Amino acid sequence: MKWIYGSLRLFATFCFKCFGRLEVYGAQYVPRYGPLIIISNHLSYNDPPALFVSTPRVLDYLGKIELFSNRWKSALLRLAKVHPLDRSSTGVDALKTALKVLSQDGAIVIFPEGRISPTYSMQKARQGAAFLAIKSQAPILPIGISGTEKFAPWRMVLPLQRFRVNIGPPFTPPVLEGRIDKNAINAVSDLMMNRVAILLPEDYRGVYEIKKTDAPSFDNCPS
């Protein structure tokens, strides 16, 4: 299984770096060991492979169950450690899956917006990622992706485009005491998404547009 995963990463790296212009910033921020929640904006079906290539960790993903309708595609997704997610359910199964990955010191990728942005700018996040962060208290690694919307998924092996993965410093969610209500979850969610927004060019930030004077300063922050 590990050699198949490694082969997929090697092939994707070859395609993105030889037939495209993948730029990765902040790779030094990725923790090599321990539980990790990776959060990112979501522009395209090209985003998971871009993260796959850009981080040295073995990554687990949650993918909508509709992606698993084809037998061969389903097999490939499972080899890439994508777990089916039924978005029509309450989300309990997704939470259990993510917590299991984290309990085994794994890294789980979450797109908090819950879907590809139709405008390519950040949309309001759903509460699932923030609730997972609060529940697990695992470190959170924010990542901003730009440019993956410029080529179709079928061109993934031959992107011929410049795209960027910008990785910020990890942080831990605040410890909340007592009952966790919607306001608390929303506050943590906004904190998480603002950490992603500052890693993006301004026209990608959408509802999380923030002034640079209000944002943390990162060495790898794009202009």
- Active-site residue numbers? 42
Contact 60, 199 (CB under 8 A): no
Give the pair of three-digit tokens for residue 16: 């993105």
CA separation for the pair 107, 11 (Å, rounded): 21
CA distance readout (Å), 49 to 16, 53, 76, 99, 158: 9, 6, 12, 22, 13
Residue 64 φ then ψ, to 5°: -60, 140
Q: 163: part of which helix (H) or strand (E)?
A: strand 162-167
CA separation for the pair 152, 46 (Å, rounded): 8
- The count of residues in the chain is 223
Give the pair of three-digit tokens for residue 84: 């089916």
CA distance readout (Å), 154 to 56, 82, 208: 25, 19, 30
Determine whether 147 is exposed, middle or buried from the number of CB atoms within 10 Å of its CB (0-12, 13-18, 19+).
Answer: buried
